[in-house]
Chains A and B, each alone.
Chain A
């Protein structure tokens, strides 16, 4: 049994110009101890599909699926309060915009201890000790001091690491990391990825990494899903994807690295492919 099983997920938003289908029939599964990477261009529905799985989309979103199951439990039929017990504890997410997802009115220490209080029932001293432990694990310098800081007193990358620490606070079974290292320089990115991979290996945590960084995919993933305009274009184990990408889109994605610039222009997907060419041979 997979940790997370999603079948035929569809998400539609009501907009002024009519309904807009952000996710169009995506299926995926992640096992315990497995790392799945989701890649694809901006606006292709990566964040929305994962927010749908977490039940965190606004009411303007209509979510349907043939199956949405976590750890053997059906998320679709579940009451909101039941779902809240799972989300943030067994199923945690590192959000794409870390600074925006921290509350500016509370210190970061308060925010991480609050999560521990709600889900872990730890005493005050134990919560503080655990918070310090988590902050040092994600490489925040002077963790004791930093607990008393407000988000605006920290740099972009420091806020991102606070978010990572909060997501890891309750030892989740599944962690969804949405562009977890974009605000970080490569040295700290490496530290964070090493940490995630270690937790994943030691505790058998399932990990979904959403990223546009093919280097990150290469260094972490077991399996990769390539998404375009709300649809899954390709799914493959990591080695096959890099060695022999099946779809033209994946090949284009791999060639759009700045290292491959020809002359003074960078290639964009639109330079290389049309929509028809991209959807040709798409998997379901």
Chain B
């Protein structure tokens, strides 16, 4: 079976231009990542802030071209630098960005934002587009009354859900989610994670899920990759990574997770009173 997504030694460098007093510099953001995800599966990517997760996501979703390395979608090699992107390819792969506010046009109403991908990519009638958009809005836990509102009228978590709804409008095959639930409270987070799981069952969707929340990763992932300074330092099934973390960074991740039990609170308050 061919993988929905495969990358081989993907590399991305950024060049920072120098100034009068400064030399130009190159940042090696992603240093040779190889991965494969099968249909209906979820790969979770975790890693320290700045380790190259979003950069990898932008390459997978064909927004940025890799500096080196290959990428295959459904077994087909893609090279946006050389051949550009077919509309079919563009529909297949969608992304939910880390920063939803920056990617929602502030002058457009939510309904139009949701219908826009359908306008561009399909010949669907207005009524049908509207029905689809309305249904999706409800799926992510928002209301009909939100249809005519502008992005600034939403809370952080509500905007995040709009971004997820928009990415789902074209029924993609591969969905890359860059920290999709980190801004959400637990209840809405549960709602969105349940929704993603339902859609995966229904349409055999494939996810690349970037997160730094280990409890979420443990819940949603089939495979887990841990990135550190642009490299994959750990890559395996969820059970392998969680039961037997190999890399020092993964171990630190486990130990730095805040604890919400009464004993830890008592210990902290005792330390505070002693100081």
Contact = CB atoms under 8 A, between A and B. Distances in A.
Interface of A: 13, 15-17, 39-43, 47-48, 58, 96-97, 99-100, 141, 145, 148-149, 153-158, 160-161, 179, 182-190, 193, 201, 212-219, 238-239, 242-243, 252-254, 256-259, 261, 264-270
Given A242-B265, A258-B219, A149 B16 contact: yes
Contact of A43 (B49, B145, B155): B155
A265 B192 CA distance: 11
Interface residues of B, number: 66
Interface of B: 14, 16, 19, 22, 25, 46-50, 53-54, 98-102, 145, 148-149, 152-158, 178-179, 182-191, 193-194, 197, 212-216, 218-219, 249, 252-253, 256-262, 264-266, 268-269, 272, 275
B54 A155 contact: yes
Contacts of B184: 42, 212
B194 to A, nearest CB: 6
A48 B153 CA distance: 10
A242 B182 contact: no
B216 A258 contact: yes
A184 B154 CA distance: 23
A218 B261 contact: yes
Contacts of B153: 13, 15
- The list of the 4 closest CB pairs from A to B, nearest first, reads A157-B49, A42-B157, A215-B258, A266-B190
Contact of B258 (A99, A219, A265, A269): A219
B158 A256 contact: no
A218 to B, nearest CB: 4
Contact of B156 (A42, A189, A218, A252): A42
Given A148-B19, A155-B49, 20 more contacts: A15-B149, A17-B145, A42-B184, A47-B155, A97-B99, A100-B99, A155-B53, A155-B54, A160-B49, A187-B253, A187-B256, A189-B258, A190-B258, A253-B186, A256-B187, A258-B190, A258-B216, A261-B219, A266-B189, A268-B191
